[in-house]
């Protein structure tokens, strides 16, 4: 049972649907597992709760 965790900033629901679909397809094709066994968790963080290159994303 593959479990995939995505950590990202907020996205539109339709984008997340497509992401989950494509990740599931990749696992079913590559590992030959049933789609029902692939779990995708999306953890979203507001721009003020993460940063890169020494700056908060909210400050970019």
Taking the C-alpha atoms of residue 23 and residue 40, their distance in angstroms, rounded to an integer, is 8
2 has catalytic annotation: yes
Distance, in Å, from the CA atom of 3 to the CA atom of 39, rounded to the nearest integer, reads 5
Distance CA 28, CA 3 (A): 12
Options 2, 10, 34, 46, the catalytic residue: 2
Residues annotated as part of the active site: 2
């Amino acid at each position: 049972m593959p479990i995939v965790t995505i950590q990202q900033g907020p996205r539109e629901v339709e984008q997340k649907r497509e992401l989950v679909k494509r990740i599931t397809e990749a696992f079913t094709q590559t590992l030959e597992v049933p789609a029902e066994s692939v779990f995708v968790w999306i953890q979203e963080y507001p721009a003020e709760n993460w940063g890169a290159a020494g700056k908060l994303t909210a400050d970019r």
